[in-house]
Structure 1
Amino acid sequence: MNIRRGAGAYARVGVESAVMSADPHQLIVMLFDGAQAAISSARLHMQDGNRSAKGLAISKAIDIVNNGLAAALDYDRGGEIADNLGRLYDYIARLLLQANLRDDIAQLEQAASLLDDIGSGWRELRHVSAELA
């Protein structure tokens, strides 16, 4: 049991260190990665019939979408793009909620796919920015 606790503490320090040293773009990418990890976990728990763990994982994904990705939008500077992303994040959160309520893997997969598409765009933006610099 102490080994698990130690490993968990070590992992948290690693994540905290990565967050502290990340630039804003990297933080957004980390949020996408965290949401995808939570959705993957939820998928496994859904398949295993572990409703409690599934609910916790989906709640974590919803929290990342609502309080991480959506909260990071700058509507003043982002204009129409920020508005569209805000609506898309709201839709994704609703998909996740419905997936949880109905044990619907298809809605979980749709949310994961949308997040993957947006996250890929963020990653590509990083590469384009680096090439232009």
Structure 2
Amino acid sequence: MKENTYLEKMVMTASPAKLVQMLYEKAVEVLKEAENLLADKKFVEFNEKVTRAQDIITELNLSLDMEKGGTIAQNLRALYNYMFQRLVEGNVKKDVEKIREVRGMLEELLEVWKEAMKKAGNVTPPEKKQGGLNLMG
């Protein structure tokens, strides 16, 4: 229980940039778990983890500012849509390669995001925080 309280506090006080990083990290984590569950033929749990990753990708997609984001936001939207579709296919067909493909893409995005946050100094004003992001589960 203490871990959940700590995580909730982190989410509530994180900048939007940090929340994106946390979403990427959680998606990578649940996809690793999904791969292990599939190897163990635990299909119900596998489905739950892949569905959780799909929810995270949906959240990332919905958080894009298409007006201000320009080409980058458009490219990310296309990438998120592609990843979501690959997860659906991987889940239905129990295809670990599709899951690994998406996990690899998310790992790359995470590294690029971390580097961008360093360069930007992660200076997002606190009043621009977004609510409603659910990292639990």
Question: Normalising by structure 1, what TM-score?
Answer: 0.88
Indicate the structure with greater helix content: 1
In the other structure, the counterpart of 1:19 is: 11
Q: Match for residue 29 of structure 2?
A: 37
Gaps of 5+ in 2: 123-137
- How many residues were matched structurally? 123
Cα RMSD for the two superposed structures: 1.4
| Ranges in structure 1 where 5+ consecutive residues have no aligned partner | 1-8
State the Cα distance separating 1:130 from its structure 2 match.
Answer: 2.4
- Taking the aligned partners of 1:70 and 1:130, their CA distance within structure 2 comes to 23
Quick one: distance in 1 between partners of 2:32 and 2:3? 19
The residue aligned with 2:130 is none
| Cα deviation, residue 129, structure 1 | 1.5
What is the match of residue 48 of structure 1?
Answer: 40
Q: If the length of structure 2 is used for normalisation, what is the TM-score?
A: 0.86
Q: 2:60 aligns with which of 69, 80, 98?
A: 69
Matched, 1:102 2:131: no
The Cα shift of 1:127 comes to 1.1
User: Equivalent residue for 1:123?
Assistant: 114
Structure-2 residue corresponding to 1:3 = none
Identity, in percent, stands at 26
- Structure number with greater Rg is 1
Structure 2 counterpart of 1:87: 78
Q: Which letter does structure 1 place at the counterpart of 2:67?
A: D
Shift of 1:103: 1.1
